[in-house]
Structure 1
Amino acid sequence: MAGIKTELTKVRLNKFLASNTSLSRRKADEAIFSHRVRLNGTIISSPATYVDSNNDEVMLDNRLIASKTKEYLAFYKPKAVLTSYKREKEKRCLSDFDELKRKKPAYSGRLDYNSEGLILFSNDGYFIQKLQKPKNKIPKEYLVYTDENLSETDIKLLEKGITFNVINYMPCKISKLADRKYRIVLYEGKNRQIRNMIDYCGKKTRRLIRTKIGSVELKGLNPGEFRQLTKNEIMEIANV
């Protein structure tokens, strides 16, 4: 798949740089304003300049920037795997998976070591930024198993949003599926958020599985498996 908008080859220069380098959109703008970018040999000063990714030559700091073949992957992170390419104390990490260790694509949806479930990977910086920006409020869905049942009061408190250990947690949605089993939908992604929310209620999280990010589902994947995202899944996130 060539990119998010596969039917188009012309994109704004700042978006082209953000998608094909490690620069964010803001940093790409700064590079353009600083006269570090050339289009077909000419210094460009406007981020709104359009680039034909199939025919134009773009250089950043005198280095040719090629339009990359875009990849978009869904991965079922197993329990006891670090969401990092760097190994720590002999723990398994992302570099242990052949699909990731050579290219090391960027990811969105970090999970702690003892949690499992869906993480999205891509070499398309624009796509990853869409997933990571809090203002986009892309829903993330989890199955959560607890050591004790949450009370109705617990659920109402968490759904309204709480402050715990000086950290504010936004409102969320919680559905009880069975005894000590819940579906929780978050619209942000703070470190160990669900575990902290359950701790706030005086309970413990026994198992945590992320099952969905936006419209992308974990369904059909086993721990350690990957699949390509569909065009519809990519477009839905890109157009948030």
Structure 2
Amino acid sequence: MATRINKYLSEVGFCSRRRADRLIEEGKVTINGKVPEIGTKVEDSDLVEVEGQRIEKSMKQKNIYLAFNKPVGIVCTTNKVVEPNNIIDFIKYPKRIFPIGRLDKPSEGLIFLTNDGDIVNKILRARNNHEKEYIVSVNRPINRKFIQTMSHGVEILGTITKNCFVEQLGPNKFKIILTQGLNRQIRRMCETLGYRVQTLKRVRIMNIKLDVPPGKYRKFTKEELLELNKLLEKSLKTFD
């Protein structure tokens, strides 16, 4: 049965579909010695290579799902050449894995890592429907107006952010739950209102909570993975 090349690479756990598309665009993927177009389909009998490395379905391993507490200063990339402080070198996991989504370098907290390209695709497709919870501190006291404005939308990047839950936790600290993922969204929202983020920690993604020390990771429980897949199915139906 023919399979799209990006799905093929994700199913064997080589990379996410998005990363596969980038590799194809960069001319690093070949099928039977020829560089394919995005969307090209492959058969089981085809020879697929990435930068000269043969990729086979027999390479497919048991799926890995990790909840990692990213420290400040670590970059969420698999590119070891461009970024020496990358998340893969930091974790040193014995098998190939890649992060789902991003946390910027100055931020910390929960991020998922996996070798399951299909779940990466589902989460990224449903990115505007699942909850992500953060604890944030800023450089000066916040007030009721700040909370209300953050809750009801702030203009950044040429758009108004979606309504979201915001709760004050202290003079300079608040909790915020987002259902969208604009680039550096919380930092930009705060900057628009005249505040500067000092610390930003993600403490929850959907049903998975941060419960390990900085720099440590754990595997998803069976119950967590089951619930996550249920939530993703609901999100995808809403998103579509």
Question: Which of 43, 58, 68 matches 2:61?
Answer: 68
Identity, % of aligned pairs? 28
The 1:96/1:136 distance shift into structure 2, 3 A limit, reads: same
How far the C-alpha of 1:89 sits from its partner, in A, is: 8.4
Structure 1 CA distance, aligned partners of 2:69 and 2:113?
11
The 1:148/1:231 distance shift into structure 2, 3 A limit, reads: same
Structure 2 CA distance, aligned partners of 1:112 and 1:167?
21
CA deviations on 1:168-225 (whole Å, 9 max, x unpaired) are: 4222110111221111101122221111111111111111100011111112x11110
The answer to whether structure 1 residue 234 and structure 2 residue 225 are counterparts is yes
The answer to whether structure 1 residue 162 and structure 2 residue 168 are counterparts is no
Superposed counterparts of 1:75-154, under 5 Å:
75-86=68-79, 92-100=85-93, 103-134=95-126, 137-154=129-146
Using structure 2 for the length normalisation, give the TM-score: 0.72
Using structure 1 for the length normalisation, give the TM-score: 0.72
Superposed counterparts of 1:8-23, under 5 Å:
17=8, 18-20=10-12, 22=15
Contiguous gaps of at least 5 residues in structure 1: 1-12, 42-58
Contiguous gaps of at least 5 residues in structure 2: 22-37, 50-54, 233-240
Structure 2 CA distance, aligned partners of 1:151 and 1:108?
34
Which range is displaced more, 125-134 or 140-149? 125-134
Q: May I ask how many residue pairs the two structures share in their alignment?
A: 204
Structure 1 CA distance, aligned partners of 2:17 and 2:85?
29
Q: What is the Cα-based RMSD across aligned positions, in Å? A: 3.2
Q: Is the 8 A contact 1:150 1:201 kept in 2?
A: no
Q: Based on CA coordinates, which of the two structures has the bigger radius of gyration?
A: 1
The answer to whether structure 1 residue 215 and structure 2 residue 204 are counterparts is no
How far the C-alpha of 1:60 sits from its partner, in A, is: 6.9
Structure 2 CA distance, aligned partners of 1:90 and 1:23?
19
Structure 2 CA distance, aligned partners of 1:22 and 1:60?
17
After superposing on structure 2, the runs of 4+ consecutive aligned residues of structure 1 that deviate more than 6 Å are 13-16
The 1:161/1:230 distance shift into structure 2, 3 A limit, reads: same
Q: Match of 2:35?
A: none
